[in-house]
Amino acid sequence: MTSPFSSYNYHGKGNFAGMIDVAILGATEVDLHFNANVVTHSDGYLLHGIGGWQNCLFGKTVILPVPLFRDRIPVIRDEVTTLCGPGELIDVIVTERGIAVNPLRVDLLEKAKGSGLPLKTIRQLKEEAEAICGLPQKPRFTDKIVAAIKWVDGTVIDVVRQVEPL
């Protein structure tokens, strides 16, 4: 028995998040550099906290199963609205229309060759989503900061700004 307060606590002695073989996590957005967002939607509005999501990125293989689009909004973007997880820690994006393996994971790319899996680049997935949905408008923000996104060590890696009223 373990508790998330010890098993996924970056500073805890019982932290085993980095020993996980596979972590399967959700995301609201992923960008062309495999960076991911779990805290806001593409419209910039806050959803919820990160929880232990970032800690799981230290697993040996991190997979994000996401739909190619939600409510006619592509999930794969040029740049995420809010940075929650750096792309070098995210290995595979799985969608209903194809699978993108992070080019940094040459070992996974080699193992997937000849497997019959629908492998595509993340750019191909993004272009396919935009061909179906069109290119969405980016949200507009005020200068007011409403939340800070901290990395597991406490470093602020992004901020969430107030969405500009329509």
More confident residue, 11 or 120: 120
**Residue 24 token pair:** 């399967």
Decide if 96 is inside a domain.
Answer: yes
- 9-14: average pLDDT: 70
Report angle CA 22, 23, 26 to the nearest 5 degrees.
Answer: 145
The pLDDT value given to residue 8: 67
Residue 16 has pLDDT above 90, yes or no: no
From CA 20, how far away is CA 75, in angstroms rounded?
26
pLDDT tens across 103-139, in order?
Answer: 999 999 999 999 999 999 999 999 999 999 999 889 9
Decide if 99 is inside a domain.
Answer: yes
The pLDDT value given to residue 134: 94
81: confidence class by pLDDT, cuts 50, 70, 90:
very high
The pLDDT value given to residue 121: 98
From CA 41, how far away is CA 129, in angstroms rounded?
16
The pLDDT value given to residue 6: 67
Domain that holds residue 81: 4-139
Decide if 152 is inside a domain.
Answer: no
The pLDDT value given to residue 15: 73
**Residue 106 token pair:** 């040459």
State in Å, rounded, how far the first CA of the chain is from the last one: 49
From CA 142, how far away is CA 161, in angstroms rounded?
6
**Residue 81 token pair:** 């609205």
Total structural domains within the chain: 1
Decide if 50 is inside a domain.
Answer: yes
Decide if 51 is inside a domain.
Answer: yes
The pLDDT value given to residue 4: 65
pTM, entire model: 0.91
**Residue 149 token pair:** 């996104």
Decide if 27 is inside a domain.
Answer: yes
Decide if 158 is inside a domain.
Answer: no
Least Cα distance to 121 among 34, 8, 53, 45 occurs for 34
| CATH code assigned at 54 | 3.40.1080.10
Decide if 146 is inside a domain.
Answer: no
